[in-house]
Structure 1
Amino acid sequence: MTRAARSPLRGRVVVVTGAARGLGAALAHEVARRGGVPALLGHEPDLLARVAARLPGPALVHEVDITDAPALRDAAEEVRRRLGRPSAVIANAGVAEGGPFASSDPAEWRRVIEVNLVGSAQTARVFLPDLTATAGFYLQIASLASMGAAPMMSAYCASKAGVEAFAHSLRAEVAHRRVGVGIAYLNWMDTEMIRDADQHAVLRELRGHMPPPARRVYRADVAAARVVRGLERRRTAMYVPAWLRLVQPVRAALPPVVLRLSRHELPRLEEREPLLHTGLLGAGGDADRTAAGTGGQDSR
């Protein structure tokens, strides 16, 4: 029996936000490979169409900004009309920026919060009636940053801590309705966003000073396979790489460690070159800057 034939996703509609590139595109492919019917939401309709064309089965493409609530409601209605009610929703769309908080652009800083946190919550809101009807599953893509905040990434860390708390709260609210809620904790992924981050000294140094296992970059397709396997099993928590689960019991100890390292390393870095703000990262950030006029929305 093939993987698609035995997958609980077979024939089920699965919404993936931020699906034009990176992890989102890999998630859509993995869902389709297992027999699911992905609905690809995001910016860059041409790229979304290319992703859909490479999938081994049917898919729906819908251009939408997840921070635009009326447009997101229209997208949800389009998914229902053309595919049926979703059985799973993967809230993957997200952006990142780096640099000192004091010199950050307020609009770009706020945009990270709006896309990563508010956009994820709005995604859950518009699809929750469907997930209730299908006893479905909402999967929030989170990050190591949800468990341990780092300097020079204040907006991203705040937003990812926020989506973790949101997902925990939502899980408690909807469990009695047979709706599952999971959180996928991911480390560095080999996407355009991370490749762009490595072009900026402030973020390259940040990753470089992490312990060797924590600085490793993982392939998006490998991460997608693990995440979708967890989705099939309705797991409440998924970790890529697997060792991230070991951070959970010691996460309270992380802030003092980060503080100690930052006090030592940031002055040394500032002596070599100024700590400049990166702006929103990745080609997806550029696409959203065109669409929304300030920030960027991309799959990780």
Structure 2
Amino acid sequence: MSHDPLTGRVILISGAAGGIGSATARRLTQRGAKVVLGDLHAPALDELATELGANAQPVVLDVTDPESCAAAVQFALTQHGRLDAVWANAGISAFGPLELVEQDTWRRVIAVNLVGVYNLVRAGLPAVIDSQGYVAMTASWASFAHSPGHSAYAAAKAGVEALANSLRSELAHQGVRVGVFHPGWIDTPMVTNKIDSQPAFNVMLNSLPKPLRKVTAVEDVAEILADALATRTDKVVYPRVGWALHALRPLLATPLLASRSRKVAPLMRRLYAQQIE
């Protein structure tokens, strides 16, 4: 039987209490990794840690607070004596036309999804350099395919991709690998809550070509991301049809390829405005 490279690796995950984070944490512990589960939601963290057993420890983590990030890293080091990977995964989303979304909500998306990634990566970097380990960040298809209604989310995720690419070059000589993960529409509350409650979001989603609107099971992407953490992959795009968007990214904002989005944008605006009245 071949040795799983995840066996014994210590991995700190933000946004671990649900969605992609918790699903991947399950796979990681099944494969022998030691996972430090970071999230704001203590009850959900404790429940997950109990489910996963001795190879999972919870720590309350607010990625918008640099001191909280430093404390989570120190907790991992105290528990295990090393840190092999930091996965900056915590994220939130807000959907709606830029001038109709509350300013604090828009800024909060940037604070969590971009500045929060920086905060955790910065806190964990000395330990990861010591272990010649791996830094992973969750971006999105939205980092290269910018749909209407997702201005904050797209801006933050594009920033995460750029951060990862820059950091990869910075750290290569120190033996540290940097990965960026680009999931599409995944069956998590971040997506399903919008499908269930926001007509404007459904208009946007249904305007996409059929292969690009599919919502994928979280367990499927968790398996892919666990493999990426094992092999310290530079880039993951999943579902794989997203690679077509990645390849076409210089053209996606041109009038021809953006025509569907531009056509449905007025209806989206009307529906969103009606919902917040």
TM-score interval for Structure 1 and Structure 2 normalised by the shorter chain: over 0.9
CA distance in 1, matches of 2:268, 2:87: 38
Q: CA deviation at 1:262?
A: 3.0
Cα displacement string for residues 190-220 of structure 1 (whole angstroms, at most 9, x for unaligned residues): 0111111112011111111111111111111
Match of 1:50 in 2: 47
Please state how far the C-alpha of 1:50 moved relative to its aligned partner.
0.9
Task: For 2:241 and 2:80, locate their aligned partners in 1 and report how far apart those are by CA, in whole Å.
Answer: 37
Q: Does 1:266 align with 2:265?
A: yes
Q: Which ranges of structure 1 fall in alignment gaps of 5 or more residues?
A: 279-300
Consecutive unaligned residues in structure 2, runs of 5 or more = none
Q: Separation in 1 of the partners of 2:272 and 2:59?
A: 41
C-alpha change, 1:274 and 1:92, in structure 2 (3 Å) is closer
* Larger RCO (CA within 8 A; separation ≥ 6): 1
Asked if 1:97 is matched to 2:65, the reply is no
Q: For residue 206 of structure 2, what is the amino acid of its counterpart?
A: G
Instruction: Give structure 1 regions of 4+ aligned residues with deviation exceeding 3 angstroms.
Output: 268-271, 273-278
Q: CA deviation at 1:129?
A: 0.7
The amino acid that maps onto 1:104 is: V
Task: Pick closer, same or farther for the CA change 1:269–1:19 going to 2, 3 Å.
Answer: closer
Aligned partner of 1:178 among 171, 175, 179: 175
Name the residue aligned to 2:9: 12
Query: How far did 1:64 drift?
Result: 1.5
2:135 maps to 138
Secondary structure at 2:224's aligned position in 1?
Answer: helix
Task: State the Cα deviation string for residues 130-150 of structure 1 (Å, max 9, x = none).
Answer: 110111001111111011111
The whole-number CA distance in structure 1 between the counterparts of 2:252 and 2:273 is 23
- Structure 1 position 69, deviation (Å): 0.7
In structure 2, the residue matched to 1:78 is 75
Looking at structure 1, the residues matched to 257 and 96 of structure 2 have their Cα atoms a distance apart, in angstroms, of 16
Q: Percent identity?
A: 33
| Residues 104 and 277, structure 1, Cα contact 8 Å, conserved in 2 | no
Match of 1:35 in 2: 32
What is the correspondence of 1:245-256 to structure 2 with a 5 Å cutoff?
245-256=243-254
1:298 corresponds to which residue? none
Does residue 1:206 correspond to 2:204, yes or no?
yes
Paired residue total:
274
Task: Judge conservation of contact 2:100–2:273 (CA < 8 Å) in 1.
Answer: no
Structure 1 residues 76 and 270: CA distance shift in structure 2, 3 A: closer
Following the alignment from structure 1 to structure 2, what is the Cα–Cα distance between the partners of residues 149 and 134?
A: 36
How many Å separate the matches in 1 of 2:108 and 2:250?
28
RMSD after superposition: 1.6
Q: Is the aligned partner of 1:110 residue 2:116?
A: no
Residue equivalent to 1:126: 123
What is the aligned counterpart of 1:216 among 207, 214, 217? Answer: 214
Would you say the 8 A contact 1:99–1:276 is kept in 2? Answer: no
- Do the aligned partners of 2:96 and 2:272 also contact (CA within 8 Å) in 1? no
SS at structure 2 position matched to 1:162: helix
Within 1, Cα distance between the matches of 2:120 and 2:128? 12
Q: Match for residue 297 of structure 1?
A: none
Q: Counterpart of 2:242 in structure 1: which amino acid?
A: L
Q: TM-score, normalised by structure 1?
A: 0.87
- Per the TM alignment, residue 57 of structure 1 is displaced from its structure 2 partner at its CA by 4.2
Question: Structure 1 pair 274/168, CA: closer, same or farther in 2 (3 Å)?
Answer: closer
Deviates more, 1:85-94 or 1:47-56: 47-56
Give, in angstroms, the shift of residue 274 of structure 1: 4.6
1:233 is matched with which residue? Answer: 231
What is the alpha-carbon distance in structure 1 between the residues aligned to residue 267 and residue 121 of structure 2? 43
Q: How many angstroms apart in 2 are the aligned matches of 1:61 and 1:263?
A: 44
Distance in 1 (CA, whole Å) between partners of 2:274 and 2:69 is 34
